[in-house]
C-alpha cells in the first residue's frame, strides 16, 4: 500500500508540473508578450506571431503568379510545407527524435499584413526536420514591376530544435545570419533557371541584435531581395 501511495503522489505531482509548464509556455507567457508588444509600433517589414510578438523580418520576395512560385520551388528542389495539424505535429516530433525524413514538415504560422503565410517551402539538411532551410511567403495583392503578383517572404535557417527563449515552448531555433539565408534562397532559384532578374528594396533596416518571436537573435543589413520569376511557357 505504501508503495502504491508513493506512486500515486508522484503521478499527481508529475501531472501538476506538466500542467504548470503547459500553462506557462503556451498560455501565460505568450499572453504577457502580447500585452507588451501591443504598446509598440510594428515595423512594416516584420512578421508577427499570433500573439502579436515581432517575428522574422521580411527579407525576400518574388514576382509571379501562384503557379509560377510553386513551380520555381519544385524546380529548385524545395518542398511545400504541410499545414500544422495534430498529425503533422506528431510526425515532425518523431522526425526530430528518431532522425526520420520529413521533407514537407510544417512550419509555424506567422502573420504579415493581417494574415498568416499563404505558402511555405523548405529544404531539409540531413535525415530529419531538425535542420532545414525554409521560407514563408505572403501574397501582398500588389503588383511587381511587370504587373504580376508581388509576394513578400521571410527566409531563415532552422539550426535545431529547443525551447523558446521567451516562453519555454518547444520550437525551432534559427541561425542569426538571415542575410545568408536570403542569398542562399535566391542563388538556389537562380541556379535552377527560375529567375529572370532580381532587385533589392528597403526592409527592416540595418539590425545587429534583432530578436524574433521565439527570442532568437538575428542580424541583417536590413534589405529584402526580390526575385522576378521567369514567366511560365
Q: Could you give the CA distance from residue 51 to residue 37 in angstroms, rounded to a whole number?
A: 9
| Exposure b/e, 213-231, CB count within 10 A at least 16 = b | bbebebebebbbbbbbbbe
As a whole number of Å, the end-to-end CA separation of the chain is: 77
Q: Is 159 exposed, middle or buried (0-12, 13-18, 19+ CB in 10 A)?
A: middle
Is residue 163 helix, strand or coil?
A: strand
**pLDDT tens profile 118-163:** 999 999 997 767 799 999 999 999 999 999 999 999 999 998 765 5
Q: Given phi > 0 = left and psi -120 to 50 = alpha, else beta, which region is 114?
A: left
- Residue 192 pLDDT > 90: yes
CA distances from 125 to 78, 121, 131, 180 (A): 11, 13, 5, 16
Long-range contacts of 70-77 (CB under 8 A, 24+ apart): 70/119, 71/194, 71/232, 72/189, 72/192, 72/194, 72/229, 73/121, 73/189, 75/192, 75/193, 75/194, 76/188, 76/189, 76/191, 76/192, 76/194, 77/123, 77/188, 77/192
pLDDT category of residue 105 using cuts at 50, 70 and 90: confident
pTM higher than 0.85: no
CA distances from 183 to 22, 186, 188, 198, 214 (A): 37, 5, 8, 11, 23
Minimum mean pLDDT among 15-29, 116-130, 209-223: which range?
15-29
Query: What pLDDT does 39 receive?
Result: 37
pLDDT category of residue 188 using cuts at 50, 70 and 90: very high
| Residues 155, 181 contacting (CB under 8 angstroms) | yes
- Residue 57 pLDDT > 70: yes
The percent of residues in the chain predicted with pLDDT above 90, rounded, is 56
- Residue 195 pLDDT > 90: yes
Amino acid at each position: 500500500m505504501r508503495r502504491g501511495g508513493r506512486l500515486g503522489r508522484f503521478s499527481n505531482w508529475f501531472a501538476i508540473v506538466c500542467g504548470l509548464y503547459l500553462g506557462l509556455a503556451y498560455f501565460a507567457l505568450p499572453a504577457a508578450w502580447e500585452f507588451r508588444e501591443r504598446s509598440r509600433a510594428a515595423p512594416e517589414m516584420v512578421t508577427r506571431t499570433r500573439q502579436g510578438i515581432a517575428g522574422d523580418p521580411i527579407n525576400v520576395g518574388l514576382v509571379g503568379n501562384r503557379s509560377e512560385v510553386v513551380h520555381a520551388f519544385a524546380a529548385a528542389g524545395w518542398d511545400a510545407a504541410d499545414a500544422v495539424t495534430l498529425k503533422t505535429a506528431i510526425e515532425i516530433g518523431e522526425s526530430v527524435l528518431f532522425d526520420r525524413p520529413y521533407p514537407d514538415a510544417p512550419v509555424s504560422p506567422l502573420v504579415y499584413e493581417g494574415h498568416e503565410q499563404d505558402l511555405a517551402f523548405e529544404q531539409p539538411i540531413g535525415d530529419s526536420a531538425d535542420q532545414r532551410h525554409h521560407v514563408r511567403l505572403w501574397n501582398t495583392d500588389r503588383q511587381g514591376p511587370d504587373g504580376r503578383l508581388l509576394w513578400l517572404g521571410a527566409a531563415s535557417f532552422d539550426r535545431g530544435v529547443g525551447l523558446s527563449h521567451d516562453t519555454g515552448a518547444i520550437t525551432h531555433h534559427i541561425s542569426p545570419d538571415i542575410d545568408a539565408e536570403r542569398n542562399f534562397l535566391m542563388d538556389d532559384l537562380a541556379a535552377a533557371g527560375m529567375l529572370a532578374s532580381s532587385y533589392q528594396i528597403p526592409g527592416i533596416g540595418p539590425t545587429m541584435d534583432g530578436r524574433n518571436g521565439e527570442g532568437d537573435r538575428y542580424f541583417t543589413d536590413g534589405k529584402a531581395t526580390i526575385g522576378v520569376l521567369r514567366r511560365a511557357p
